[in-house]
A = this chain, B = another copy of it.
Amino acid sequence: MPMALGTDYELQDCTLARALEVVGERWSLLILRDAFYGVQRFNDFLTHLGIPRAVLTARLNALVAAGVLRKEPYQQTPLRHGYLLTDAGLELWGPLYQLSRWGSRHATEAGPYHLFAHAACGTDLDLVGACPTCGGAPVRPAEIVMRPNPARTGSRREDAVSLALVRPHPLLEPIASAAAPA
């Protein structure tokens, strides 16, 4: 609930409220989830999320202003840029992963849509996002590989991003949005 009037929690003595001012608005966390999946371009966010264009514009600008995303040119002519996670944005992986895990336990019957493993050893992450085999702190996003849950059949989405994610995919690696597999 950032920027716009009436959407802040300024009277709360709580850093949770501060965090929600940045990422608490509708769509914001889903946009960031996509950014972790490797989505970078406006149109890929648009088709994968099914979000109204004007709302996507507003959210991306707000997240850039909040220092969670940054704009990075990927071609010069015509000038085009993608949206990438900043260091602060990368640190949102923990809460995002935990919330997703909570959702798979309590807000759906059929379990998770995607599974997340430590790239170095292939072990699925535990509930705080650490590697049970290698131990230690939670695994950083760049060292995580996601794959579809084989027990979850029938992904009904047909957009470029969803199609790219049917194969195992390292987090943060750009989605090949123009690739049309034969």
Contact = CB atoms under 8 A, between A and B. Distances in A.
Interface in A105-128: 105-108, 112-114, 127-128
Given A113-B13, A114-B14, A138-B128, A102 B108 contact: no
Interface stretch (A69-77, A87-95, A170-178): A87-95
A101 B23 CA distance: 14
A11 B104 contact: no
Contacts of A29: 16, 20, 24
Contact of A101 (B15, B100, B104, B107): B15
B91 A102 contact: yes
Contacts of A100: 14-16, 19
A26 interface: yes
A21 B130 CA distance: 26
A14 B26 contact: no
Interface stretch (A38-46, A53-61, A155-163): A155-163
A146 to B, nearest CB: 11
A22 interface: yes
Given A1-B26, A128-B128, 10 more contacts: A12-B30, A16-B33, A16-B96, A16-B103, A18-B107, A19-B99, A19-B100, A19-B102, A128-B137, A128-B138
Interface of A: 1, 7, 9, 11-24, 26, 29-30, 33, 49-50, 66-68, 88, 91-92, 94-96, 98-108, 112-114, 127-130, 137-138, 155-157, 162
The 4 closest A-B pairs by CB, nearest first: A19-B103, A15-B103, A18-B107, A15-B104
